[in-house]
Structure 1
Amino acid sequence: MPVHRPGPVHPRPLTAVVAALLAALSLTLPLSTAHAATTPARGSAHMGMGVLAHDGQDGTPTTGDVTQTEGVDVSGHQGNVAWSTLWNSGVRWAYTKATEGTYYTNPYFAQQYNGSYNIGMIRGSYHFATPDTTSGATQANYFADHGGGWSRDGKTLPGALDIEWNPYGAACYGKSAGAMVSWIADFLNTYRARTGRDAVIYTATSWWTQCTGNYGGFASDNPLWIARYASDPGTLPAGWSYYTMWQYTSSGPTVGDHDKFNGALDRVVALANG
């Protein structure tokens, strides 16, 4: 009876072996490594970048009988903005991203900042904070030097500090609540020394609670710009009994981020005049 011997063993192609190893390795990679592949590029952050994921979904604002004034906020993400379209839709104020950290300036800043002003809007600029890269004072100076200044012309709002979820890593930028409060104070004090104005604070209640311990010490001087995509702004951070501005959606007409100023147009002018 013939003996059936096994045939020769053919080695797997090297590419197949590598592919199998990579596939196995991907199953054991830590979440932080997988996240790194989708981390956005530095400089691409903008107001409300983390709000949809953390603090409610887009909704129709319910403002009751309170007179409010429509506004927008824009960044390099929007490119050249159709300001006449926004003006004709009733938008009367705007904020433009000027800077982020100490490494980024918005390439569309001139078109956005000057364009809103030229169409008749009251405008301001904002800084996206990265507390893990440089000090609050350093970033406030960078902001003031690159579009964050202020002039008493009745059409320029005080600069805004956008302090929210870190799009590049840990939500609180690796800082304790106390260290975060100190960083914010450093920024605000320096900005006031440079411009004579108290900066607006843009944030979301859930982030503020998590990352500052719901600190209430800035409410007496710094106007609140609350971010919440829902039918109402919800519970405000400690210390503030009312909001000055509310970013209520990221999917509005013409540009995504739309806001309500908590008052009529004359109150927007009053904030601009200080």
Structure 2
Amino acid sequence: MTNSLHTWTAWLSAALIMLAVVPAPARALPAGSADHFAGSQIAKHEGRGRSGVPRPNSAGTVPGMDVSSHQGDVDWAKSWADGARFAYVKATEGTGYLNPNFTQQYNGSYHIGMIRGAYHFALPDRSDGAAQADFFAANGGGWSPDGKTLPGALDMEYNPYGDTCYGLSQEAMGGWVKAFGDRLFQRTGRYPMIYTSTSWWNRCVGTTATFGSTSPLWVAHYAEVLGPLPNGWTYQTIWQWQAAGLFPGDQNLFNGAYDRLQALAGI
């Protein structure tokens, strides 16, 4: 009995030591991360203009697209022939997801002649803004003044995993966005384009912070008429006006002539 008790005690002590030194596993993202593309959650909450939306008056604009792993390998030659002249490509989500199709999409759009950029799907309840900016910058979110690379974009929209505003107050959310933008500027020399919808932004950030003086606006609204903009901006740089159409992925219009798009890439 004494020997058995001694053996049990020794085994338990060893097990506790092992538990103390084994680090906790990283919090992995669910498999559904591949489906979280720009506007995927906005469409669920605000309605998706998949078809039947007349094209807005596009005079003085440049047509473009945005894609993620949801589109797989993209036929960039066809998209170019159909008129797309710029593209945003999902690179990362949180600090645990990388788009497996990023290289084909990002390099393919560049080689066909498009002006392209990368975007990050934010998860503000998983880690701080600076940490996610670092992850993005290290995995496709860089920038170079080559006239063909748009500033990295920060995708701020409804939480695909839970609470709409990720459990954050408006003030805390504004602080998170600022931390992301400041760190990305440190890493790349450019503040991010901010992608969002008016409804989500005004609910989750509100008037606690404004970014119109540093970050161009990429706004999602699936209709023929744009409507009100999120607090802090007086004009949009890109309008995501339809979630499916002529090009793979979402349909976008740059608010200006092609030389202004080049200027945005080359600042």
User: What TM-score, normalized to structure 2?
Assistant: 0.85
223, 231, 235: which one aligns with 1:238: 231
Deviation, structure 1 residue 141: 0.3
Is 1:135 the counterpart of 2:128 in the alignment? yes
Q: How many residues align?
A: 235
Aligned to 1:41: 32
Extract unaligned runs of 5+ from structure 2: 1-29
Provide the C-alpha distance between the structure 1 equivalents of 2:48 and 2:88, rounded to a whole number of angstroms: 22
Deviation, structure 1 residue 256: 3.0
Is 1:225 the counterpart of 2:221 in the alignment? no
SS at match of 2:118: strand
Alignment of 1:28-177 (within 5 A): 41-58=32-49, 59-63=53-57, 66-177=59-170
SS at match of 1:41: helix
Please report the RMSD computed on the Cα atoms of aligned residues, expressed in angstroms: 1.4
Deviation, structure 1 residue 239: 2.0
User: What TM-score, normalized to structure 1?
Assistant: 0.83
Aligned to 2:8: none
Closer, same or farther: CA 219–250 of 1 in aligned 2, 3 Å: same
| Equivalent position amino acid for 1:87 in 2 | W
Aligned partners of 2:82 and 2:247 also within 8 Å: no
C-alpha offsets along residues 105-131 of structure 1, whole Å, 9 cap, x if unaligned? 100000000000000000000000000
Aligned partners of 1:70 and 1:90 also within 8 Å: yes
| Equivalent position amino acid for 1:61 in 2 | R
Aligned to 1:14: none
Aligned to 1:264: 257
Aligned to 1:188: 181
SS at match of 2:40: coil
Moved over 6 A (4+): none
| Equivalent position amino acid for 1:53 in 2 | K
Extract unaligned runs of 5+ from structure 1: 1-38
Q: Which protein shows a greater Rg?
A: 1
Provide the C-alpha distance between the structure 2 equivalents of 1:178 and 1:216, rounded to a whole number of angstroms: 7
| Equivalent position amino acid for 1:217 in 2 | T
Deviation, structure 1 residue 198: 1.3
SS at match of 1:73: strand
Percent identity for Structure 1 against Structure 2: 52
SS at match of 2:136: helix
Deviation, structure 1 residue 216: 5.1
Aligned partners of 2:185 and 2:191 also within 8 Å: yes
Provide the C-alpha distance between the structure 2 equivalents of 1:237 and 1:249, rounded to a whole number of angstroms: 18
Provide the C-alpha distance between the structure 1 equivalents of 2:244 and 2:37, rounded to a whole number of angstroms: 14
Aligned partners of 1:70 and 1:91 also within 8 Å: yes
Provide the C-alpha distance between the structure 1 equivalents of 2:260 and 2:68, rounded to a whole number of angstroms: 24
